[in-house]
Structure 1
Amino acid sequence: MLPSRVATVSLHTSPLDQPGTGDAGGLNVYVVEVARRMAERGVAVDVFTRATSPDLPPVVELAPGVSVRHLAAGPYGHLDKNTLAEYLCPFIFGMLRAEAREEPGRYDLVHGHYWLSGKAGVAAARRWNVPMVQTMHTMARVKNAALAEGDLPEPDARVRGEDQLVHQADRLIANTDDEARQLKEHYAARDHQISVIPPGVDLDVFTPGPRRAALERIGLAPDTELLLFVGRVQRLKAPDVLVRAAARLLERDPSLRSRLVVGVVGGLSGGGMSEPRMLADLARSLGVADVIRMEPPQTRERLADYYRAATATVVPSHSESFGLVAVESQACGTPVVAARVGGLATAVGERSGVLVDGHDPADYAAVLHRLIAEPGRRDRLAEAAPEHAATLGWDRTVDDLLDVYRASITPYAAPAGLPLAAAR
């Protein structure tokens, strides 16, 4: 049975936010792309998110069949994700009030994204007597096992909340086989709960194109060697590894300085907001400030040009549930140099990128130098990149999600328990 309407929960970040800054990233892209394609298949989607301003309308149409519902929960403005847990109850009550204004049985299923959303989603799903599907995106125990130097561990409250959520959710969506393994090893998830469904990439926007023309469009010389980082600027994503690698690269080959550019496209996020000059100060201390180009988050169309212009996109994250940036880059015909962590082993093709063990800048410098010094090798990776990305389109993701939705709602009986137990 195909659901007629799904309640998607994205409490801590809105699908209307620009990915690449604050708490907006791959999760936002996931929610938007899936919701749009669900609606095109006849499944309406209401996305519940926290209102960050009193000026936001209660309901915004994101696309035909997709509505974003802003719920008041706690003070307006940006709140730390750990603080948001204090406002789960008002958010849940907002979801219940919104549903109560509609005809009975409005939602056939709830899909939560991230643990906070999942806690709210479980409470609503139990009250509405519908199944609860959860995508974690990141997990506290996994992140804490791979902390960057100077980064703070995820709090115990999140660990306990995820433990509860894994056992309360009817189905768990893992981005990769590796994430499925982590759910079982770290949270004792059961095999029958888990479905592995990789995220996708918009193959209509992220397409190959001439590199020289793309360099010109973003204001760089045609002989530029652009090493690109895309994403939120925080220690977890490790843009500092790329900056340090660039310093090693220039020590190894000083002749590159006149044409090397390290592009960092993204905004401050998480712990990075408390140290806004960390990356700039690091570049200055290493003597490479002149090759660093800091850019704010870009529109998808503009971002595609940055990918096309790059010699390589570098994804040195300490933890990554999937790595949409890596897939977007490959879809644009640009190879990826990434850390061999989490979902990046799936996101990066064997013939379209290079996976690096660990986070030693010297190792990244060696790989990047070879791509620059051996353009034929770089071109071979670039040629295979779109082919790998083509296997990860959003249509496949949505097809597989709909299969999980059908299986979840036919038939369905809610587990016993208090409807709002998940909020406590």
Structure 2
Amino acid sequence: MASLGGVDTGGQNVYVAQLAKHLAAQGYLVDVFTRRESAEIAEVVDWAPGVRVIHVTAGPAEVIIKENILQYMDDFKDNMIAFIINKQLHYALTHANFFMSAQVAMGVKKELDIPFVVTFHALGHVRRIHQAEKDKFPEQRLTIEEQAVQEADHIIAECPQDKEDLIQYYNAPVEKISIIPCGFSATEFYPIDKEVARKIAGLPQKEHIILQLGRMVPRKGVDNVIRALGKLKGTKKPVKLVVVGGECEELVEETCPEYARLMNIAREYNIDASVIFTGRKNRDQLKFYYNAADVFITTPWYEPFGITPLEAMACGTPVIGSNVGGIKYSVADGETGLLVPAEDPEALAEKITQLVNNEDILYGMSRNAIKRVNTFFTWAHVAGQVEDLYKKLMPVAKQRNVLLGIDKSVAA
């Protein structure tokens, strides 16, 4: 229910929403438990056919940054259990998303004997490696993750790298891990004529457009893309970088430090006129930006999976991505796009030039991208794999009633 593109709202929100919706379409009843952020919102919201969103009181009814929410998870667990008992609900399974939800799921399992699956979406040990002292999550995160790995009935890794990290850093039993990727919505993202898409998005028609779309936080590597733009040489037409995302629709340097930092980098390279910051956009607008672009770029330091490359490829837009995590799994290097080292603007500039100067390569990659995502990464396909896993864990009599436990305020 949250607006996407902010610091704490991104791919994990999409994952839970789409998985819940597609499981409900298969006949499941799904309740999504989330922390109450407003006193005005109803306790129970009928979000979609077969899907309810239940707002649990845990701390003050206001938005809190995800790094500060762990202290309220015991209250979340107690109030969630009270809701289940008071409403006489009988869940077959809990699906926890992120480490805080995993902590709650462990408590629910202990008190109500409900098995749980966990998708971490991001791992504390990996985050520490890449962010070091910038990681503001409490130390208990690692202990909670380690405990959840042992107590979960099953673990969903989103890509092979995620599985390797779970085994290496958490000693996760191999037999308890299944690789099930994220997906994209074929009803939301599909090819649209580029000229039409640019007209709707208000973007220039006669220039190359490269797109960065997602949360505007340092680890997503937007600064790397700006520096690459400043190093471009030999392109046949001028290149514009479009950056979609941010805390609000109208970005202001005085109130958005990350936007101010990125603008200063653009000024440093004297390319501020070539970078278009759109601010946050509604989800129904995103397909126009994906289709307007010649190339989609995502070069984070690390990425547990990354849904935006799938959405771009579904629109027929080739992807240049970091050779990390889920990106190196979803992007077929040389077929649907290209992979580059993270934080290497020179290498990125070289790949951008290679693609925008060759329409035949772009066309071939576009066709390959559409075919790849529609074969392997639709939410329907993903939900089918998740359902197969659920059936192995749930008693037969309870296989049509499942709970997806998540606090969307702590989206990774």
Cα distance in 1 for partners of 2:158, 2:285 equals 26
Cα distance in 2 for partners of 1:121, 1:386 equals 37
1:341-380 superposed matches below 5 A: 341-350=324-333, 351-380=335-364
**Alignment check: 8 A CA contact 1:198 1:397 kept:** yes
1:229-244 superposed matches below 5 A: 229-244=212-227
Relative to the length of structure 2, the TM-score reads 0.90
Cα distance in 2 for partners of 1:43, 1:326 equals 29
Q: Is 1:221 matched with 2:200?
A: no
Question: Identity of aligned pairs, percent?
Answer: 29
Cα distance in 2 for partners of 1:398, 1:305 equals 26
Query: Partner residue of 1:194?
Result: 177
Q: Secondary structure at the match of 1:146?
A: helix
Relative to the length of structure 1, the TM-score reads 0.88
Cα distance in 2 for partners of 1:220, 1:274 equals 25
Query: Partner residue of 1:265?
Result: 244
Cα distance in 2 for partners of 1:153, 1:145 equals 13
- Which residue, out of 142, 147, 153, partners 1:159? 142
Cα distance in 2 for partners of 1:218, 1:25 equals 21
**Alignment check: 8 A CA contact 2:235 2:353 kept:** no
Q: Secondary structure at the match of 1:19?
A: coil
Cα distance in 1 for partners of 2:221, 2:157 equals 23
Q: With CA pairs under 8 Å and 6+ residues apart, which has the higher RCO, 1 or 2?
A: 2
Query: Partner residue of 1:283?
Result: 266
- Greater alpha carbon shift after TM alignment, 272-281 vs 209-218: 272-281
- Greater alpha carbon shift after TM alignment, 376-385 vs 171-180: 376-385
Query: Partner residue of 1:49?
Result: 34
Q: Secondary structure at the match of 1:95?
A: helix
Q: Is 1:40 matched with 2:25?
A: yes
Cα distance in 2 for partners of 1:49, 1:343 equals 26
Q: Secondary structure at the match of 1:277?
A: helix
**Number of positions where the alignment pairs a residue of Structure 1 with one of Structure 2:** 389
Cα distance in 2 for partners of 1:184, 1:38 equals 29
Deviation digits for residues 363-387 of structure 1, max 9, x if unmatched?
0000001112222222221121101
Post-superposition offset of 1:68: 0.5
Post-superposition offset of 1:300: 3.0
Query: Partner residue of 1:61?
Result: 46
1:301-316 superposed matches below 5 A: 301-316=284-299
Cα distance in 1 for partners of 2:206, 2:131 equals 37
Query: Partner residue of 1:384?
Result: 368
Deviation digits for residues 105-157 of structure 1, max 9, x if unmatched?
52111111000111011111222211111000000111222339x84465422
Post-superposition offset of 1:294: 1.0
Post-superposition offset of 1:411: 7.8
Query: Partner residue of 1:4?
Result: none
Post-superposition offset of 1:78: 2.3
Calculate the aligned-residue CA RMSD, in Å.
Answer: 2.0
Deviation digits for residues 382-413 of structure 1, max 9, x if unmatched?
1211011112111111111111111112389x
Cα distance in 2 for partners of 1:65, 1:385 equals 32
Instruction: Report the residue type matching 1:175 in the other structure.
Output: E
Cα distance in 2 for partners of 1:79, 1:276 equals 21
**Alignment check: 8 A CA contact 1:203 1:331 kept:** yes
Instruction: Report the residue type matching 1:347 in the other structure.
Output: S
Runs of at least 5 residues in structure 2 that lack an aligned partner in the other structure: 249-254, 398-412
Cα distance in 2 for partners of 1:64, 1:411 equals 23
